[in-house]
Homo-oligomer: A and B are copies of this chain.
Amino acid sequence: MSADGLIQSLTAAFDAIPLIDPHSHIEPLSPVSKSLDDILGYHYYTELAHSAGMSQKLLGPDADPRDRCREIIRFMDRYDNTAQYGWFVNICKSFLVFTGDRVTAKDADALFDASLKAFAAKDWEQQVFAKTNLEKIFLTNEFDDNLDGFDTAKYVPCLRTDTLVFKFREPGVRERLAKVTGIDVGDVPTLRKAVRALFERFVAKGAKACAISLPPDFTPTPEGSSIFWMLAENCREFKLPFDLMIGVNRRVYEKGVHQGQDLFDRRCSLIQYRELFNAFPEVTFPVSVLTSGQNQELVAYSWIFPNVVPNGHWWYSNIPAYIGADLRERLQGVPKTKLVGYYSDAYKLEFVLPKYGMYRRILAKTIADEFVRPGTLNETEAVALGTRLLRDNVREIFNV
Protein backbone atom coordinates (compact mmCIF):
# COMPACT_ATOMS: atom_id res chain seq x y z
CA MET A 1 0.00 0.00 0.00
CA SER A 2 1.27 3.47 -0.78
CA ALA A 3 2.26 5.74 2.07
CA ASP A 4 -0.77 7.97 1.56
CA GLY A 5 -3.04 4.96 1.12
CA LEU A 6 -1.89 3.55 4.43
CA ILE A 7 -2.52 6.82 6.26
CA GLN A 8 -5.96 7.11 4.71
CA SER A 9 -6.78 3.55 5.63
CA LEU A 10 -5.69 4.07 9.24
CA THR A 11 -7.54 7.38 9.45
CA ALA A 12 -10.71 5.69 8.21
CA ALA A 13 -10.32 2.97 10.84
CA PHE A 14 -9.83 5.58 13.57
CA ASP A 15 -12.84 7.55 12.34
CA ALA A 16 -14.95 4.49 13.05
CA ILE A 17 -14.03 4.36 16.74
CA PRO A 18 -16.75 5.79 19.01
CA LEU A 19 -15.26 8.67 20.94
CA ILE A 20 -15.11 9.22 24.67
CA ASP A 21 -13.87 12.77 24.98
CA PRO A 22 -12.24 13.21 28.40
CA HIS A 23 -12.22 17.01 28.62
CA SER A 24 -14.56 19.68 27.34
CA HIS A 25 -16.45 22.77 28.45
CA ILE A 26 -19.78 21.64 27.05
CA GLU A 27 -22.86 22.90 28.88
CA PRO A 28 -25.04 19.82 29.05
CA LEU A 29 -28.28 21.77 28.92
CA SER A 30 -27.10 23.75 25.91
CA PRO A 31 -24.51 21.52 24.28
CA VAL A 32 -24.90 22.53 20.66
CA SER A 33 -24.73 25.81 18.79
CA LYS A 34 -27.82 27.84 18.07
CA SER A 35 -26.27 29.84 15.27
CA LEU A 36 -22.97 30.49 13.55
CA ASP A 37 -22.37 33.03 16.29
CA ASP A 38 -21.84 30.20 18.79
CA ILE A 39 -19.25 28.69 16.45
CA LEU A 40 -17.37 31.89 15.69
CA GLY A 41 -17.68 33.13 19.23
CA TYR A 42 -15.17 30.46 20.21
CA HIS A 43 -12.13 32.33 21.45
CA TYR A 44 -9.89 30.83 18.77
CA TYR A 45 -11.69 32.90 16.13
CA THR A 46 -12.23 36.08 18.10
CA GLU A 47 -8.62 36.15 19.23
CA LEU A 48 -7.14 35.38 15.82
CA ALA A 49 -9.35 37.96 14.14
CA HIS A 50 -8.51 40.51 16.83
CA SER A 51 -4.82 39.64 16.67
CA ALA A 52 -4.99 40.20 12.92
CA GLY A 53 -6.46 43.65 13.37
CA MET A 54 -10.20 43.32 14.01
CA SER A 55 -11.54 45.78 16.55
CA GLN A 56 -13.47 44.38 19.49
CA LYS A 57 -16.43 46.63 18.83
CA LEU A 58 -18.66 43.89 17.47
CA LEU A 59 -17.70 41.42 20.18
CA GLY A 60 -19.87 43.04 22.87
CA PRO A 61 -23.18 41.53 24.00
CA ASP A 62 -25.20 44.24 22.27
CA ALA A 63 -23.74 43.76 18.82
CA ASP A 64 -25.75 41.96 16.18
CA PRO A 65 -24.68 38.30 15.91
CA ARG A 66 -24.87 38.30 12.14
CA ASP A 67 -22.71 41.43 11.94
CA ARG A 68 -20.25 39.84 14.32
CA CYS A 69 -19.99 36.70 12.20
CA ARG A 70 -19.54 38.78 9.05
CA GLU A 71 -16.70 40.65 10.68
CA ILE A 72 -14.90 37.60 12.03
CA ILE A 73 -15.20 35.92 8.62
CA ARG A 74 -14.12 39.10 6.84
CA PHE A 75 -10.82 38.87 8.69
CA MET A 76 -10.30 35.22 7.79
CA ASP A 77 -8.23 36.14 4.77
CA ARG A 78 -5.65 37.21 7.33
CA TYR A 79 -5.64 33.98 9.30
CA ASP A 80 -6.79 31.34 6.81
CA ASN A 81 -3.38 29.75 7.16
CA THR A 82 -4.07 28.57 10.69
CA ALA A 83 -5.13 25.18 12.00
CA GLN A 84 -8.10 26.84 13.67
CA TYR A 85 -9.37 28.15 10.35
CA GLY A 86 -9.13 24.57 9.14
CA TRP A 87 -11.47 23.44 11.92
CA PHE A 88 -13.97 26.06 10.84
CA VAL A 89 -13.98 24.98 7.21
CA ASN A 90 -14.43 21.42 8.42
CA ILE A 91 -17.45 22.48 10.49
CA CYS A 92 -18.98 24.32 7.53
CA LYS A 93 -18.57 21.26 5.35
CA SER A 94 -19.74 18.77 7.93
CA PHE A 95 -22.64 20.63 9.47
CA LEU A 96 -23.60 23.48 7.13
CA VAL A 97 -23.77 21.88 3.68
CA PHE A 98 -20.92 24.11 2.59
CA THR A 99 -19.20 22.70 -0.48
CA GLY A 100 -16.36 25.16 -1.08
CA ASP A 101 -12.77 24.72 -0.02
CA ARG A 102 -12.26 28.13 1.53
CA VAL A 103 -14.60 30.36 3.48
CA THR A 104 -14.39 34.02 2.56
CA ALA A 105 -16.31 37.19 3.35
CA LYS A 106 -18.92 36.53 0.69
CA ASP A 107 -19.92 33.27 2.36
CA ALA A 108 -20.82 34.86 5.67
CA ASP A 109 -24.52 35.40 5.18
CA ALA A 110 -25.21 32.07 3.57
CA LEU A 111 -23.37 30.30 6.36
CA PHE A 112 -25.24 32.26 8.98
CA ASP A 113 -28.57 31.37 7.36
CA ALA A 114 -27.56 27.74 6.98
CA SER A 115 -26.61 27.60 10.64
CA LEU A 116 -29.98 28.92 11.77
CA LYS A 117 -31.70 26.30 9.70
CA ALA A 118 -29.51 23.34 10.57
CA PHE A 119 -29.13 24.07 14.24
CA ALA A 120 -32.88 24.54 14.68
CA ALA A 121 -33.52 20.88 14.00
CA LYS A 122 -35.18 19.25 17.00
CA ASP A 123 -32.66 16.46 16.94
CA TRP A 124 -29.62 18.63 16.25
CA GLU A 125 -27.85 17.41 19.36
CA GLN A 126 -28.43 13.80 18.31
CA GLN A 127 -27.32 14.60 14.77
CA VAL A 128 -24.05 16.04 16.04
CA PHE A 129 -23.47 13.07 18.31
CA ALA A 130 -24.08 10.72 15.39
CA LYS A 131 -21.98 12.57 12.80
CA THR A 132 -19.19 12.89 15.35
CA ASN A 133 -19.42 9.25 16.37
CA LEU A 134 -19.39 10.55 19.93
CA GLU A 135 -20.33 8.30 22.81
CA LYS A 136 -19.53 10.31 25.92
CA ILE A 137 -18.00 13.65 26.70
CA PHE A 138 -16.59 14.95 29.95
CA LEU A 139 -17.78 18.27 31.36
CA THR A 140 -15.99 20.94 33.36
CA ASN A 141 -18.18 21.70 36.35
CA GLU A 142 -17.87 24.38 38.94
CA PHE A 143 -18.22 22.87 42.40
CA ASP A 144 -21.78 24.19 42.69
CA ASP A 145 -22.95 23.46 39.14
CA ASN A 146 -26.32 21.88 38.82
CA LEU A 147 -25.70 18.23 37.95
CA ASP A 148 -29.30 17.32 37.30
CA GLY A 149 -31.41 17.32 34.19
CA PHE A 150 -29.01 15.64 31.81
CA ASP A 151 -27.77 12.16 31.07
CA THR A 152 -24.56 11.82 33.06
CA ALA A 153 -23.66 8.65 31.18
CA LYS A 154 -23.35 10.83 28.09
CA TYR A 155 -22.26 14.08 29.72
CA VAL A 156 -19.80 12.94 32.35
CA PRO A 157 -19.42 15.37 35.27
CA CYS A 158 -15.96 16.47 36.29
CA LEU A 159 -15.18 18.61 39.32
CA ARG A 160 -13.20 21.65 38.25
CA THR A 161 -11.39 23.21 41.14
CA ASP A 162 -9.62 26.38 40.01
CA THR A 163 -12.05 28.51 41.97
CA LEU A 164 -11.54 26.57 45.19
CA VAL A 165 -7.76 26.65 44.98
CA PHE A 166 -7.13 30.10 43.56
CA LYS A 167 -10.19 32.18 44.38
CA PHE A 168 -11.33 30.83 47.70
CA ARG A 169 -10.99 34.21 49.38
CA GLU A 170 -12.89 36.06 46.69
CA PRO A 171 -16.30 37.33 47.72
CA GLY A 172 -19.09 34.82 47.45
CA VAL A 173 -17.06 31.65 47.14
CA ARG A 174 -17.44 30.54 50.74
CA GLU A 175 -21.11 31.33 50.55
CA ARG A 176 -21.49 29.24 47.40
CA LEU A 177 -19.64 26.43 49.08
CA ALA A 178 -21.87 26.67 52.15
CA LYS A 179 -24.94 26.65 49.97
CA VAL A 180 -24.03 23.52 48.06
CA THR A 181 -22.50 21.54 50.94
CA GLY A 182 -24.41 22.87 53.94
CA ILE A 183 -21.06 23.49 55.64
CA ASP A 184 -20.02 26.95 56.74
CA VAL A 185 -16.25 26.97 56.48
CA GLY A 186 -14.57 28.63 59.44
CA ASP A 187 -11.40 26.66 59.97
CA VAL A 188 -9.35 23.89 58.45
CA PRO A 189 -11.53 21.01 59.72
CA THR A 190 -14.71 22.55 58.31
CA LEU A 191 -12.89 23.34 55.07
CA ARG A 192 -11.78 19.75 54.87
CA LYS A 193 -15.32 18.60 55.50
CA ALA A 194 -16.76 20.87 52.85
CA VAL A 195 -14.25 19.75 50.23
CA ARG A 196 -15.04 16.15 50.99
CA ALA A 197 -18.74 16.89 50.67
CA LEU A 198 -18.13 18.17 47.14
CA PHE A 199 -16.54 14.88 46.19
CA GLU A 200 -19.44 12.95 47.66
CA ARG A 201 -21.80 15.10 45.68
CA PHE A 202 -19.93 14.73 42.42
CA VAL A 203 -19.23 11.04 42.73
CA ALA A 204 -22.89 10.45 43.47
CA LYS A 205 -23.67 12.12 40.17
CA GLY A 206 -21.19 9.97 38.23
CA ALA A 207 -18.21 12.32 38.15
CA LYS A 208 -15.16 10.63 36.70
CA ALA A 209 -12.42 13.18 37.33
CA CYS A 210 -11.31 16.14 39.36
CA ALA A 211 -9.49 18.81 37.34
CA ILE A 212 -7.60 22.04 37.70
CA SER A 213 -5.52 24.42 35.61
CA LEU A 214 -2.37 25.73 37.22
CA PRO A 215 -0.03 28.66 36.68
CA PRO A 216 3.60 27.99 35.69
CA ASP A 217 4.96 28.93 39.10
CA PHE A 218 2.64 26.71 41.14
CA THR A 219 4.17 24.10 43.46
CA PRO A 220 1.76 22.00 45.50
CA THR A 221 2.66 21.51 49.14
CA PRO A 222 1.00 19.61 51.95
CA GLU A 223 0.86 22.51 54.38
CA GLY A 224 -2.23 22.16 56.54
CA SER A 225 -4.74 24.42 54.90
CA SER A 226 -3.82 23.67 51.28
CA ILE A 227 -7.04 23.08 49.41
CA PHE A 228 -5.05 21.62 46.55
CA TRP A 229 -3.66 18.93 48.81
CA MET A 230 -7.14 18.19 50.16
CA LEU A 231 -8.33 17.68 46.60
CA ALA A 232 -5.61 15.11 46.03
CA GLU A 233 -6.56 13.36 49.28
CA ASN A 234 -10.16 13.16 48.17
CA CYS A 235 -9.14 11.92 44.73
CA ARG A 236 -7.38 9.12 46.57
CA GLU A 237 -10.36 8.33 48.75
CA PHE A 238 -12.91 8.55 45.94
CA LYS A 239 -10.64 6.94 43.35
CA LEU A 240 -10.88 9.82 40.92
CA PRO A 241 -8.09 10.78 38.52
CA PHE A 242 -6.86 14.32 39.12
CA ASP A 243 -6.36 16.16 35.81
CA LEU A 244 -3.55 18.69 36.08
CA MET A 245 -3.45 21.27 33.31
CA ILE A 246 -0.11 22.87 33.92
CA GLY A 247 1.26 26.17 32.82
CA VAL A 248 -1.29 28.91 32.21
CA ASN A 249 -0.90 32.52 33.29
CA ARG A 250 -4.29 34.17 33.37
CA ARG A 251 -5.05 37.66 32.03
CA VAL A 252 -1.64 38.36 30.55
CA TYR A 253 -3.19 40.36 27.70
CA GLU A 254 -5.60 42.29 29.84
CA LYS A 255 -7.56 43.89 27.02
CA GLY A 256 -7.72 40.75 24.92
CA VAL A 257 -10.99 39.20 23.84
CA HIS A 258 -13.00 37.02 26.22
CA GLN A 259 -10.94 33.88 26.94
CA GLY A 260 -8.17 35.24 24.73
CA GLN A 261 -6.06 36.82 27.45
CA ASP A 262 -4.09 33.93 28.87
CA LEU A 263 -0.52 33.01 28.05
CA PHE A 264 2.39 31.34 29.75
CA ASP A 265 5.91 31.40 31.06
CA ARG A 266 7.86 28.52 29.66
CA ARG A 267 10.10 28.44 32.72
CA CYS A 268 8.00 25.77 34.40
CA SER A 269 9.04 22.27 35.41
CA LEU A 270 7.29 19.10 36.52
CA ILE A 271 9.87 18.95 39.29
CA GLN A 272 7.46 21.32 41.03
CA TYR A 273 5.10 18.32 41.34
CA ARG A 274 7.70 16.00 42.80
CA GLU A 275 6.26 15.98 46.28
CA LEU A 276 2.72 15.56 45.00
CA PHE A 277 3.50 12.64 42.71
CA ASN A 278 5.37 10.89 45.51
CA ALA A 279 2.72 11.55 48.13
CA PHE A 280 -0.17 10.12 46.12
CA PRO A 281 0.90 6.90 44.42
CA GLU A 282 -2.75 5.78 44.42
CA VAL A 283 -3.97 8.80 42.47
CA THR A 284 -3.64 8.88 38.71
CA PHE A 285 -2.63 12.32 37.45
CA PRO A 286 -3.52 12.85 33.79
CA VAL A 287 -1.17 15.73 33.02
CA SER A 288 -1.58 18.29 30.26
CA VAL A 289 1.25 20.71 29.58
CA LEU A 290 0.64 24.01 27.85
CA THR A 291 3.92 24.04 25.98
CA SER A 292 5.48 21.47 23.74
CA GLY A 293 8.82 22.37 25.32
CA GLN A 294 7.61 20.64 28.47
CA ASN A 295 6.66 17.46 26.64
CA GLN A 296 9.98 15.75 27.30
CA GLU A 297 9.45 16.24 31.01
CA LEU A 298 5.98 14.78 30.64
CA VAL A 299 7.42 11.80 28.74
CA ALA A 300 10.13 11.23 31.34
CA TYR A 301 7.91 11.65 34.38
CA SER A 302 5.32 9.32 32.83
CA TRP A 303 8.05 6.89 31.92
CA ILE A 304 8.96 6.26 35.55
CA PHE A 305 6.06 7.46 37.73
CA PRO A 306 3.19 4.93 37.49
CA ASN A 307 0.68 7.61 38.48
CA VAL A 308 1.62 10.21 35.87
CA VAL A 309 -0.02 9.89 32.46
CA PRO A 310 0.19 12.26 29.49
CA ASN A 311 -3.18 13.74 28.62
CA GLY A 312 -3.96 15.16 25.20
CA HIS A 313 -2.63 18.28 23.54
CA TRP A 314 -3.69 21.44 25.25
CA TRP A 315 -4.57 24.85 23.83
CA TYR A 316 -1.42 26.47 22.43
CA SER A 317 0.00 22.99 21.84
CA ASN A 318 -3.13 21.82 20.05
CA ILE A 319 -1.88 22.45 16.52
CA PRO A 320 -0.37 19.82 14.24
CA ALA A 321 3.26 20.86 14.61
CA TYR A 322 3.18 20.31 18.36
CA ILE A 323 0.75 17.39 18.41
CA GLY A 324 2.86 15.46 15.92
CA ALA A 325 6.14 15.99 17.74
CA ASP A 326 4.69 15.40 21.21
CA LEU A 327 2.78 12.30 20.17
CA ARG A 328 5.82 10.73 18.56
CA GLU A 329 7.91 11.32 21.67
CA ARG A 330 5.22 9.85 23.90
CA LEU A 331 4.87 6.79 21.69
CA GLN A 332 8.59 6.12 21.87
CA GLY A 333 9.06 6.59 25.59
CA VAL A 334 5.86 5.95 27.56
CA PRO A 335 3.91 2.69 27.95
CA LYS A 336 1.06 2.79 25.45
CA THR A 337 -1.49 1.94 28.13
CA LYS A 338 -0.77 5.31 29.75
CA LEU A 339 -1.38 7.57 26.76
CA VAL A 340 -4.64 9.48 26.81
CA GLY A 341 -4.50 10.57 23.21
CA TYR A 342 -6.74 13.55 22.94
CA TYR A 343 -9.61 15.63 24.23
CA SER A 344 -11.53 18.30 22.42
CA ASP A 345 -11.65 21.08 25.05
CA ALA A 346 -14.78 22.10 23.11
CA TYR A 347 -17.38 24.60 24.27
CA LYS A 348 -19.91 23.42 21.69
CA LEU A 349 -20.31 19.88 20.41
CA GLU A 350 -19.76 20.88 16.79
CA PHE A 351 -16.03 21.28 17.55
CA VAL A 352 -15.44 17.70 18.63
CA LEU A 353 -15.51 16.47 15.03
CA PRO A 354 -12.93 18.79 13.44
CA LYS A 355 -10.56 18.68 16.39
CA TYR A 356 -10.57 14.90 16.67
CA GLY A 357 -10.40 14.78 12.88
CA MET A 358 -7.14 16.71 12.98
CA TYR A 359 -5.81 14.47 15.71
CA ARG A 360 -6.75 11.23 13.97
CA ARG A 361 -4.93 12.24 10.80
CA ILE A 362 -1.79 12.99 12.81
CA LEU A 363 -2.18 9.78 14.80
CA ALA A 364 -2.53 7.79 11.58
CA LYS A 365 0.52 9.38 10.03
CA THR A 366 2.59 8.94 13.18
CA ILE A 367 1.68 5.30 13.65
CA ALA A 368 2.24 4.62 9.96
CA ASP A 369 5.69 6.21 10.03
CA GLU A 370 6.81 4.85 13.37
CA PHE A 371 5.38 1.36 13.41
CA VAL A 372 3.90 0.14 10.14
CA ARG A 373 6.51 1.23 7.61
CA PRO A 374 9.46 -0.04 9.67
CA GLY A 375 7.64 -3.39 9.86
CA THR A 376 7.00 -3.37 13.61
CA LEU A 377 3.21 -3.48 13.37
CA ASN A 378 0.85 -4.69 10.69
CA GLU A 379 -2.19 -2.63 9.88
CA THR A 380 -4.51 -4.48 12.23
CA GLU A 381 -2.10 -3.99 15.10
CA ALA A 382 -1.71 -0.35 14.14
CA VAL A 383 -5.45 0.15 14.39
CA ALA A 384 -5.38 -1.47 17.82
CA LEU A 385 -2.65 0.92 18.94
CA GLY A 386 -4.63 3.90 17.73
CA THR A 387 -7.78 2.61 19.40
CA ARG A 388 -5.87 2.41 22.63
CA LEU A 389 -4.93 6.09 22.47
CA LEU A 390 -8.34 7.20 21.25
CA ARG A 391 -10.61 5.13 23.43
CA ASP A 392 -9.32 2.22 25.50
CA ASN A 393 -7.09 4.27 27.76
CA VAL A 394 -9.82 6.81 28.44
CA ARG A 395 -12.09 3.99 29.51
CA GLU A 396 -9.49 2.34 31.71
CA ILE A 397 -7.92 5.40 33.25
CA PHE A 398 -11.15 7.29 33.93
CA ASN A 399 -13.14 4.16 34.64
CA VAL A 400 -15.94 4.92 32.18
Contact = CB atoms under 8 A, between A and B. Distances in A.
A380 to B, nearest CB: 13
A127 interface: no
A133 interface: no
A222 B342 CA distance: 42
Given A253-B277, A266-B294, A331 B51 contact: no
A95 to B, nearest CB: 19
B371 A304 contact: no
Interface stretch (A75-83, A157-165, A169-177, A181-189): A75-83
B304 A333 contact: no
A193 interface: no
B297 A266 contact: yes
Contact of A304 (B260, B271, B301, B320): B260
A133 to B, nearest CB: 22
B264 A300 contact: yes
A130 interface: no
Nearest to A76: B335
A359 to B, nearest CB: 14
A9 interface: no
Interface stretch (A134-142, A143-151, A321-329): A321-329
A267 B267 contact: yes
Interface in A271-307: 271, 274, 277-278, 281, 291-294, 296-297, 299-306
B320 A253 contact: no
A255 B277 CA distance: 11
A337 B145 CA distance: 42
A97 to B, nearest CB: 20
Contacts of A50: 304, 306
A303 B249 CA distance: 15
Nearest to A270: B263
Contact of A335 (B82, B264, B301): B82
Contacts of A355: none
Given A264-B271, A267-B269, 4 more contacts: A50-B304, A53-B306, A79-B334, A300-B316
